[in-house]
Structure 1
Amino acid sequence: MCLSEGTMRTHVSRILVKLGLRERARIVVVADETVLSAEMCTDCSGDTGVPRV
């Protein structure tokens, strides 16, 4: 599968808008925090939808 640079820019822009962020680097921070919080959850039962690292 190949994605053009324009397609990737569009996806990144939409992620920024949906998460209310201004910088691409914040996407990484939010993703990292989301994975860490899901891993630390002791009351979670079943699939959280967040991939385990």
Structure 2
Amino acid sequence: MQGDDGNGSALALEIEVGLRATHPTLRKTVITKLALAMMAVLPAQTPNMAE
């Protein structure tokens, strides 16, 4: 998969693809930032962004 450099960018890319498919009217910057935030939360297994 394109963007697979070992730091999770492939996961972020896959999340972006899914977000674009389900929410096509969202801006690209919103989708990109949301995908990165989701990617950061997944390994921590917590929705608390303060941790």
Do both proteins adopt the same fold according to a TM-score greater than 0.5, normalized to the shorter chain? no
Which structure has more relative contact order (CA 8 Å, sep 6+)? It is: 2
Give the number of the structure whose alpha-carbon radius of gyration is greater: 1
Alignment TM class, shorter chain as reference:
0.3 to 0.5
With normalisation by structure 2, the TM-score equals 0.39
